[in-house]
Amino acid sequence: MKQKNIVFIAKSLDGYIAGKNGEIDWLHSIPNPDNDDMGYHQLMDEVDAIVMGRTTFETVCSFGGDWPYEKHVFVLSHSLSEIPDSLVGKISLLKGEPSNILRQIHDKGYSNLYIDGGSTIQQFLNEDLIDELRITTIPILLGGGFPLFGVLEQPLKFDLIESRIFLDQIVQSHYKRIR
C-alpha cells in the first residue's frame, strides 16, 4: 500500500510557526471574509490520520469547544501518560523515533498522514520521512519563536508542484519530495 506523509502548515516570512510565547493570532491577521480554508478540508479528505507533537496538541486543546478532528490523532509525547476521558478513542499517545512511530501507525492500517508541529516536522524531515510540504506564508516577520525548519543531516530536494496566492497576501506553495 502506498504511504504518504504530508506537512500542511503556515509560517511567517522569517520561518516561524508560532511566536516567542507560542502566539498564533498572526495566522489570522489577513482579513478572510469568506473563510477560505486554503486547502485544509481537501487535505483532511486525503489523510487517514494526524500525527502531532504534544505542544501542538495542547494548543488545540486550549481552543476549547468541540474536538476539531474527525480523523484519528496520534499525539507524540514523552511526558503525557493519560488521555482525557473526552478524547478516548479519538487520540493515541506514541513516542520514540519517527520511523518506529510510523511503523506502529502503519500497522494499525493508516497510510496517509498529516504531520503537524514544529519539532515533530523537523524530526520527520531529518529522517527523510516527509513526502509533501504544503506551506502557507503569512507576510509578517515575527523575529523569533518556534521555527518550522531545523538542522538536517543532508539536503532534501523538492519539486514545486503549485504556488497559489490567497486573499491577495498569502502565498501557499506545494512541494513534493524528489526521490
Per-residue H/E/C for 119-151: HHHHHHHHCCCCCEEEEEEECCCCCCCEECCCC
**Residues near ligand NAP (CB under 6 A):** 9-10, 17-18, 22, 24, 27, 52-56, 59, 76-80, 95-96, 98, 116-120, 123, 146
Angle at which helix 118-126 crosses helix 54-62, to 10 degrees, equals: 150
User: With respect to ligand NAP, which residue has the nearer C-beta, 73 or 131?
Assistant: 73
Closer residue to ligand NAP in complex, CB, 51/131: 51
H or E segment to which residue 8 belongs: strand 4-12
- CB closer to ligand NAP, 96 vs 144: 96
Distance in Å, CB of 5 to ligand NAP, minimum: 14
* Shortest-Cβ-distance residue relative to ligand NAP: 53
Whether the Cβ atoms of residue 15 and residue 9 lie closer than 8 Å to each other:
no
